[in-house]
Amino acid sequence: MTKQVVLVVMDGVGKSTTGLGDAVAKANTPTLDKLLAACPHTYIKAHGTAVGLPSDDDMGNSEVGHNALGCGQVYSQGAKLVEEAIESGDIFNSSAWRELKDNCVANNGAMHFIGLLSDGNVHSNINHLIALIKGAKKDGVKKAFVHVLLDGRDVPATSALQYVDILEKAMAALNDGDFKARIASGGGRMKITMDRYFANWDMVKQGFYTHVYGEGRQFATATDAIETFRKETPGIIDQDLPAFVIAEDGKPVGAMRDGDSVILFNFRGDRAIEISMAFDNADFTAFDRGNMPKVLYAGMLQYDGDMRLPKRFLVEPPKIRYTLSEFLVNKGVNEYAVSETQKYGHVTYFWNGNRSEKFSDALETFEEIPSDKVSFDERPWMKSAEVTDKVIEAVESGKYGFIRCNYPNGDMVGHTGNFDATVIGVEAVDLGLSRLLPVIEKNGAKLVVTADHGNADEMLEKNKKGVVSVRTAHSLNPVPFIIFNADAEIADGEFGLSNVAATVAKLMGFEPDEHWDAPIIK
C-alpha cells in the first residue's frame, strides 16, 4: 500500500443528458465543479447490463450499484435472476414453491402475494407476480390474494392505476369456477410494509395488520381506494398513499387464515428484511403480531444469507465472491465505512457482497449515523455534515488504509420529487466535499468521488404527448468518476461501476484481483 484512499459515493448524482429537471446542474456546486475542471475524471455506466440487470432499459439502484462497486464484477441481479428462473421453470420446482403450494392444496388455503406493484425492476416486476399467480392456478391452488404496495418512486409518481388495471385484467383472464384471484389490500410503499434498516417499525406493523388481518379503511376495489385518496389529498403521489383494505359486506376479502401460504414477490433485499422477520422469526419482538395465523412464508429470494432470512425462498441469490473488502482484509488493510441509516447497509452489507457479517472484526470498522425520521425534503441536508465529520476523523486518525462513505441526499431527497429541496441536498454534498479536500491534501491521501446511479439529475420527464411531470425514479444517466490528489491517468474505454474496485486497489499500490474488471486508470 502506498497511500490512504478515500471513496465517496454521491448517491443519486448522475450527469444529465437532457437537462430536464437537472437539480445537479441547478445546484451551486463549486467543489464538484473544481474537481471536474482540474482532476482526472470520466463518466461511468451505472444501470442496466453494467450492474447485472436484464437490459439497458433497466435503471440502476443503490443495492446493485454498491454490489458492483464492492465486488469489481457484474453478477446477474434480482430481476434477471427471477426472469431466468421463471423462463426455465426452476422457480416452480424449487422446494419452497412446492411446499407452499402443497400447503394451500392440502388445507384448501389461499396463496397470498405481497409486493411492489410496478415494472420498475428495482424491487419487483408485475410480470413476475402474474407468472406466480398463473403458476399457483396451474398447481391446483384455488384462491390467490394480492397485497399491493404502490410505487410512484421507481416508476412515474402517479402511475398506480395503470398497474392495478394490468393486474386486474390478468386475474380476470385466469378466474373461473375453480380459481379466484383478487386484490386484498394495499398502500403506498413509503407508508406501509417496506421500511428498511429498522428505521420505522410502525410502517411494518401497519402493513402487517393491513395484509394479515385486513385491518384498515375499507374500499370495494383498489381503484376506488386510490381515486378516493387522490381526491382527499390533491397532489399526493403513489408512494405516500395510505393503507387500504378490500372488503365485502364490511369484511375483508383476503385476511390470512391458518393453512394459507404467503410469498413476498419483491426480489430486492433491503426493504424486504423487516416484513420477512415479522412473518418468519418465531422470537420476533419488534411489535405485537397479535393472534397470528399459521401460514407458510417465502421470499422471492433469500434477502439475508447470514441471518438465513427468510428460511424459504424461490430463487437463489447471486453468490458474490472476491469482494474488495475481503481482498483488503487479506492484505491486512484496515477499512472504515460510514453513512447514515438510509444508506448504511449499502456501504456495509451490499458493498461486502450481501454479507451481514464482517470479513474481519479486527480490520473492518462500520459506523452508522441515525437518519432523521422525517420526509427528506424537510431536511434535505440530511446527515451530510455528520458523515463528513466521521470521514475527516477517520482520515486524520491514520488508522485506515481504505475509507468509504455514502452521501444519500441526491437519492433520498430526489425520490420525494421536490426539486428545490433536492438542489439543497446536492449542495449539502458539495459542502461536505469542500471540507474533505483540504484534509485529503494535508494527510497525503487519495480521493475517489463517484455515484451509484443517477436520480437528482433528472427530476422531470416528458411523455409522448409532450406533457412534463415530476419524476421520482432513478435515471439511466452515467455517473461521475473523479480522482483527486493522485498522479493518475484515465484509461481508454467505456467503464461501469464494476471497474471501481480494481481502480481503488491500483491507487493503493496493489495488483488488482484477477477476477475483477479492469481499472479505470492506466
Catalytic residue among 62, 118, 159, 384: 62
Does the annotation count 62 as an active-site position? yes
Detail the DSSP E strand segments found in 163-306: 180-188, 218-219, 244-248, 251-252, 261-264, 296-301
* Chain length of the chain: 522
**Contact by Cβ (8 Å): 72, 515:** yes
Among 411, 402, 312, 336, residue whose Cα is nearest residue 371: 411
- Rounded Cα distance between 495 and 386, Å, is 31
SS3 content of the chain, % helix, strand, coil (to 5): 35, 20, 45
Give, in degrees to the nearest 5, the angle at Cα 430 between 335 and 31.
100
Other C-beta atoms lying within 10 Å of the C-beta of residue 178: 8
Q: Which three cell numbers stand for residue 47?
A: 444501470
DSSP collapsed to 3 states, 311-358: CCEEECCCCCCCCHHHHHHHCCCCEEEEEEHHHHHHHHHHCCCCCCCC
Note the Cα 62 to chain centre separation in Å. 6
Handedness of CA 286, 287, 291, 294 (dihedral sign): negative
**Contact by Cβ (8 Å): 395, 439:** yes
Type and span of the H or E element at 148: strand 143-150
Residue type for position 184: A
Give catalytic residues, as residue numbers: 62
